[in-house]
Structure 1
Amino acid sequence: MKARPGSKRNMDRQWLPLNALRAFEAAGQHLSFTSAANSLTVAQSAVSRHVIVLEKFLGTALFERRPQQLALTDAGRHLLPVVTKSFDRIDQALGEIVAERGTPKRGLRVSLPPTFAHQLAIPILRDFRAERPELALEIVSKPAGEAEGEVDLAIVYSEPRVTDNILDLLWMERLTILCSPAMLPSGTPDIANFVAGGDLLHVKLDDRPRHHMWELFTRSIGRPDLPVGRGLVFDTAQLAAQYALSGDGLALVDPLLFRDEIAAGRLVQPFDLRLANGYGYYLTTSPEDLDNEAVALFRSWLIRRFSALENAASPPA
């Protein structure tokens, strides 16, 4: 009798239902047996049969069969990212062997928040390649939750939290006002009048009110009475800063992410004030991936890169 999951297998993987796992992975990605069959160039009945075999093997349902679409059960959601990552690594390793003629080049898929990816990914890629040319990075610019199962590591924008993963703090966010030089009045501006007279640019944050950060900022300068409900709302800090670059609006963002725009004079920081809002950028790694040498190398390199930051105004070289 073949070993079942959880039993002692002594490295004997004959029990692994690989064809059924391929069918499940395709169905889980498409949430459709028909689309999964098309992607695998097999009959729809074959995919459905393989999934049923896998469900019987595991003793639990992996999908809810709905009239128009499949939906993953809790067991299916647990299994899908693991299967996808495993197949990705096999596919990557085989491709590297073929491409490099027996000298595989190890690769890593890294998920970055959109603003972080657009503002810092290029120097990170450039410098890491210079130091570790044997490792290839693939950047995925989407929230970590959406990329789960597709990537080896992720940088997340978050408050401190407890998870099953390992979280390494890269830096805590410090917000300040950035705007176009055209917005600056002559002479030394008064911060209360400056905020009251400008169009405020908001960055959407979780389910909090859109003006949450500006409220924190006005409290920090002792002017909680200032109205901050007006202005535009953006999904990312990059879009808010881009709007400010057009010559209008006050963006409350982390200057570390926009150091190039500040250095070039396209954005200016009118006041030497920083707001610690409790959020930071964390590198998140699955504990089982620490045995992966490429993951460990990139993790230690990235931590060293940002550990030299004494404050948010001192960006990495």
Structure 2
Amino acid sequence: MINRRWLPLNALRAFEAVGRHLSFTAGAQALTVSQSAMSRHVSSLEDLIGKPLFDRSANGLRLTPAGEILLPVVAKCLDRLEETINTVRNHDSESPALRLHIPPSLLYQTALPLLHGFRRDHPEIRIDVTTSNGIGTPAGNIDMAIVFDRPSVDDRVTDLLWMVRVAPLCSPETWRGHEDKSLEAFLRASELLHVRIDDEPRGLRWSTYADQQRMHIDTSGGLAFDTAYSAVRYAIGATGVLLTDIDMFADEIAAGNLIMPYANIAADGFGYYLKTHAEDLSDPKIFLLRDRIISHFSRGGLTPAEDVQQMAPGG
């Protein structure tokens, strides 16, 4: 067994730099050492572990399965060590802030009360909140992340917060005059609003929904937005029909700013998940925040399903 007496810190630094850039040359430049020194350090680490960390070929470097496991752990440890040393060096007695990622629409619609309550109960815990669009865990130095994604398996502890349920939503003005139409006829007569998903076709969610409902509609037109929050604000103040998470925007439906004309609710395969590094669960700050997030969404973070269902005119 390897214990801390045998930890090769220089070799770990070299491995992290090469793995981050997938290049011995770029890694050597990042650490201001020679390329041959980087190669020796990585080779010594591979000898110590007994497994290759990189596949070396004419096409470049690629992490092996062992390298893919080791790299995020080494990178995180070096980041936190660097941050803590700088904190001590600058005579700041406070511990490093906990870095939490939350998707933007979720942050604005659901997570702000969660953060208010947690800060009220634990003012001593500093939190840096970041937000970005996209699927899956964001790149960068994040301690905890709520992510929008399909079900997946990775090296983090994953807690399902809720699965997304979607239905067409619009303003009362947009719905006026269409009360006698079928869902398919209503959508054909309306402008469809989209929420873009990174690396996915523009009309993916509408086309998936149309297939589930056995409808034939044109999903290519209409406006597209980066966030559901922006699309909802547009739909409330203008025209258009939006396919989005009915639970996240249940307050807007209950207030009458949005309506759900048809009770045709569908699951599109996406959900919100809390991702945490397994080695961080022993950190009291992360334990407390993880517990609060899970409790928030299990006890009252969303409107009960039956309440949302009844908001449709036919519910």
Smaller-chain TM-score bracket: 0.7 to 0.9
Query: What per-residue deviation string (whole Å, max 9, x for no partner) do you get for residues 48-83 of structure 1?
Result: 222122122222222233446422122211110110
Q: Which residue of 1 aligns with 2:191?
A: 199
Matched, 1:24 2:15: yes
After TM superposition, give the deviation of residue 119 of structure 1 in Å: 4.8
Identity of aligned residues (%): 40
Q: Which residue of 2 aligns with 1:139?
A: 129
Indicate which of 47, 52, 59 corresponds to 1:56: 47
After TM superposition, give the deviation of residue 269 of structure 1 in Å: 1.9
After TM superposition, give the deviation of residue 243 of structure 1 in Å: 6.0
Do the aligned partners of 1:85 and 1:149 also contact (CA within 8 Å) in 2? no
- Residue type of the partner of 1:136? R
Do the aligned partners of 1:65 and 1:71 also contact (CA within 8 Å) in 2? yes
Matched, 1:254 2:245: yes
| Inter-CA distance 258–289: structure 2 relative to 1 (3 Å threshold) | same
Do the aligned partners of 1:172 and 1:276 also contact (CA within 8 Å) in 2? no
SS at match of 2:5: coil
Query: What per-residue deviation string (whole Å, max 9, x for no partner) do you get for residues 171-190 of structure 1?
Result: 33232322355523248464
Do the aligned partners of 1:180 and 1:268 also contact (CA within 8 Å) in 2? yes
Unaligned runs of 5+ in 2: 309-315
Query: What per-residue deviation string (whole Å, max 9, x for no partner) do you get for residues 137-188 of structure 1?
Result: 2334455755478432222334566766544332332323223555232484
Matched, 1:214 2:206: no
SS at match of 2:6: coil
SS at match of 1:151: coil
In the TM superposition, 1:89-238 aligns within 5 A as 89-98=80-89, 101-102=92-93, 104-113=94-103, 115-117=105-107, 119-120=109-110, 122-141=112-131, 145-147=136-138, 150-158=141-149, 165-180=156-171, 182-186=173-177, 188=179, 190-192=181-183, 193-203=185-195, 210=204, 211-216=207-212, 219=213, 224-227=214-217, 229-231=219-221, 237-238=228-229
Q: Which residue of 1 aligns with 2:312?
A: none
SS at match of 2:72: helix
Normalised TM-score (structure 2): 0.75
Matched, 1:85 2:81: no
Query: What per-residue deviation string (whole Å, max 9, x for no partner) do you get for residues 65-110 of structure 1?
Result: 34464221222111101101111222233344345643x3353223
Number of aligned residues: 297
Unaligned runs of 5+ in 1: 1-6
| Inter-CA distance 71–96: structure 2 relative to 1 (3 Å threshold) | same
Normalised TM-score (structure 1): 0.75
